[in-house]
């Protein structure tokens, strides 16, 4: 009985720091501008407004005056996510389908940019580039993961310098804040060792915590005649999460499940992107861009959780294998201008980050494909941009016997939409 308890608790502590997202590979949210998102994020080479703070800050120097932006996304997280399993280890004697709980999430962005010299500009951005919400309420999935919620804030400051008539560079620094709002799950325990009469105790565990760190970024931009080129790099981040693990409803076993402080490292990947944009001619109404983005998710090779109040056999430190993969994202966008309007179209394909043998209910990761549609209206001082993205997620299969992994197949689909308002000064 003690061995079972230890394994289940290990899964609980591990899953809390394995967030997922429906937006991009791993748990990266690439949608940080409605204008860029209408082009499937293929915007590293164009980046012609204050949102360049995130997509390519080297392009800030080509702006005139100053600009303020605010925007938000609407994302249907979990609403169309199902899991089908017949894993006997979790008591599933026949194939059963479970539905995740749905919610509407609103990761947002705010930017300010200003040109202070013909060859110098600066910008500030506040974004939510990593995050998750997953929610399962049906047993036995809740034995692996119930509700997980993580929010990150990046406060990113950049300075851009014009080197030549056509080329600019930028350097930046970010303050990173991570808030692990909740990870809850149910912990079933068989007291008498008889698997045929169910669990005598089903308690719950929850881990929450916060942490912060700093990161840096560099960027390059070149534009000439009817084409432009962009290259960006952002460093990886390791946020030390200081939090608490709380236990409830363990009945006669409560003395063994002692609430405890806990620490763990949340590893966020370094990222790079390269993009080429081209317009058929000076009088053309069309612009096309192709980007490739890379994320170094192999940094997340293992998860270690240090539990302050160890109870041998029940509550112990965790060291689990993850072995996430580096991934590429392929993005294509096209813009057509008609007067003060822009119509935008795009396609994106993301590779899968999480391998099948560490795929857990809080990480329904898989390959993703999405067309995108966007519209922008440009005024004398104000701009408004909007986009819509139907996100098709490939079916993915969890296999193996790693802690917290239920063998089965995940299916998912999501709607993403957003709006950004801009004011020039």
Decide if 212 contacts 175 (C-beta within 8 A): yes
Report the CATH number at residue 23.
Answer: 2.40.160.60
Q: How far is CA 250 from the centre of its chain?
A: 34
Q: What is the three-class DSSP state of 407?
A: coil
Count of the separate structural domains present in the chain: 1
Find the domain containing 117 and state its range: 2-424
Facing residues of 338 across strands?
A: 341
Overall pTM surpassing 0.75 (yes/no): yes
Report the distance separating Cα 391 and Cα 389, nearest Å.
Answer: 6
pLDDT, greater one: 347 or 100: 347
Q: Exposed/middle/buried for 227, CB within 10 Å: 0-12, 13-18, 19+?
A: middle
What values do phi and psi take at 354, rounded to 5? -90, 125
pLDDT tens-digit series, residues 300-326: 887 777 888 888 877 778 777 888 899
**Model confidence at 285, in pLDDT bands (50, 70, 90)?**
very high
pLDDT tens-digit series, residues 87-144: 988 888 899 999 998 888 899 999 999 999 999 999 999 999 988 788 888 988 888 8
Evaluate the omega torsion of the peptide bond into residue 140 and state whether it is cis, within 30 degrees of 0.
yes
Whether 410 has a pLDDT exceeding 70, the answer reads yes
pLDDT for res 1? 44
pLDDT for res 121? 98
pLDDT for res 20? 40
**Looking at residues 19-36, what average pLDDT do you find?**
70
């Amino acid at each position: 009985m003690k061995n079972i308890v230890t394994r289940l608790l290990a899964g609980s502590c591990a899953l809390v720091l394995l967030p997922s997202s429906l937006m991009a590979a791993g748990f990266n949210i690439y949608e940080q501008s409605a204008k860029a998102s209408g082009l499937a994020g293929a915007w590293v080479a164009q980046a012609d407004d204050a949102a360049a703070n995130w997509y390519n800050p080297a392009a800030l120097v080509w702006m005139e005056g100053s600009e303020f932006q605010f925007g938000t996304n609407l994302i249907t997280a979990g609403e169309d996510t199902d899991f089908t399993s017949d894993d006997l280890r979790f008591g599933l004697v026949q194939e059963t389908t479970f539905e995740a709980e749905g919610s509407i999430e609103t990761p947002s962005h705010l930017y300010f940019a200003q040109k202070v010299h013909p060859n110098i500009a600066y910008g500030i951005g506040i974004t939510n580039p990593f995050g998750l919400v997953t929610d399962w309420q049906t047993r036995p999935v809740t034995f692996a993961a119930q509700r997980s919620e993580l929010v990150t804030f990046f406060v990113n400051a950049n300075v851009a310098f014009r080197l030549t008539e056509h080329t600019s560079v930028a350097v930046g620094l970010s303050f990173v804040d991570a808030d692990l709002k909740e990870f809850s799950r149910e912990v079933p325990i068989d007291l008498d060792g008889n698997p045929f009469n169910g669990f005598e105790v089903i308690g719950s565990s929850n881990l929450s915590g916060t942490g912060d760190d700093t990161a840096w970024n560099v960027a390059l931009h070149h534009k000439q005649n009817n084409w432009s080129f962009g290259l960006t790099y952002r460093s990886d981040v390791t946020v030390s999460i200081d939090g608490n693990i709380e236990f409830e409803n363990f009945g006669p076993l409560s003395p063994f499940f002692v609430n405890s402080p806990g620490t763990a490292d949340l590893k966020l990947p370094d990222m790079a992107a390269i993009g080429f944009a081209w317009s058929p001619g000076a009088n053309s109404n069309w612009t096309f861009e192709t980007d490739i983005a890379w994320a170094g998710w192999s940094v997340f090779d293992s998860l270690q959780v240090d539990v302050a109040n160890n109870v041998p056999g029940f509550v112990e430190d965790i060291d689990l294998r993850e072995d996430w993969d580096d991934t590429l994202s392929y993005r294509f966008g096209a813009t057509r201008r008609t007067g003060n309007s822009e119509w935008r179209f795009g396609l994106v394909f993301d590779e899968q980050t999480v391998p099948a043998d560490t795929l857990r209910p809080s990480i329904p990761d898989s390959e993703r494909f999405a067309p995108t549609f966007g519209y922008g209206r440009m005024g004398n001082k104000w701009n408004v941009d909007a986009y819509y993205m139907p996100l098709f997620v490939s079916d993915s299969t969890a296999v193996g016997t790693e802690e917290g992994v239920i063998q089965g197949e995940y299916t998912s689909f999501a709607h993403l939409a957003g709006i950004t308002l801009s004011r020039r000064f």
